[in-house]
Amino acid sequence: DAGVIQSPRHEVTEMGQEVTLRCKPISGHDYLFWYRQTMMRGLELLIYFNNNVPIDDSGMPEDRFSAKMPNASFSTLKIQPSEPRDSAVYFCASSPGDFGAEAFFGQGTRLTVV
Amino acid sequence: DAKTTQPPSMDCAEGRAANLPCNHSTISGNEYVYWYRQIHSQGPQYIIHGLKNNETNEMASLIITEDRKSSTLILPHATLRDTAVYYCIVRVSGNTGKLIFGQGTTLQVKP
């Protein structure tokens, strides 16, 4: 398996534009996580899914952020409209359903909103 | 939720053992201790995890105290490539999926 795949690796967009980040988890993994990382706040859990169902979205900063997982092999994180303070590295991770299992992270998407 | 406390930074000489401490005094009986690391510009990487017993794999050893209130990650022969931020995480009680990262320890391995 190629691991968790995120696209794009880099995204530069203008304030007010819609941004969509994509993630393909490892096949067979039941959990999918979206994290955001900034220098100020570190790694923050935004939302996670179990078997394609959102379980906890309490980390989503505001209504401008939304995440979907239409099937077991694909998830998106959308920001609409984007703002400069959304600039960060966004990571996607997946893990099997066993308690104690490790999570595998993608390489991240570096988002810059100008 | 159990929280963890780690020193913000540590240095280690190349070839020597790196011992990274973590306090988790409020850990519950069914919560695991996980260690991840993040090398600059990469996604976090799983290292090891344990519940009660000490654990060892090809990357590191994990020593958990008998009262489970603290643990130590040991890199037996640190190399320059081990320079990274190391995160000690306690899995959120009652939830099989959630991983909450703290600020971690920045380990600098020096030649």
Pick from A95, A99, A96, A87: which is nearest to A21 by CA?
Answer: A87
Residues B8-60: tens digit of each pLDDT: 999 999 999 999 999 999 888 888 899 999 998 899 999 999 988 899 999 99
Which position has the token pair 């070839």?
B15
Residues A43-75: pLDDT tens digits? 999 999 999 999 889 999 889 999 999 999 999
The reply to whether residue A103 touches residue B49, judged by beta carbons under 8 angstroms, is no
CA distance A37 to A6: 15
pLDDT of residue B102: 87
Which residue ranges of chain A lie beneath pLDDT 50?
none
In the block, tokens 């990262």 appear at: B101
CB spacing of A31 vs B97 below 8 angstroms: yes
Average pLDDT over residues B50-73: 94
- Please give the residue of chain A at the shortest CA–CA distance from B94: A99
Beta-carbon separation of A43 and B46 below 8 A: no
Residue B92: which of A56, A67, A29, A68 has the closest Cα? A56
Mean pLDDT of B73-78: 97
pLDDT of B18 reads: 98
pLDDT of residue A73: 95
Cis upstream peptide for A8 (omega within 30°): yes
Size of interface A-B (CB pairs under 8 A): 55
- Closest by CA position to A41, among listed A86, A94, A102: A86
| pLDDT surpasses 60 at B93 | no
Buried b / exposed e over A68-87, threshold 16 CB at 10 Å, is ebeebeebebebeebeeebb
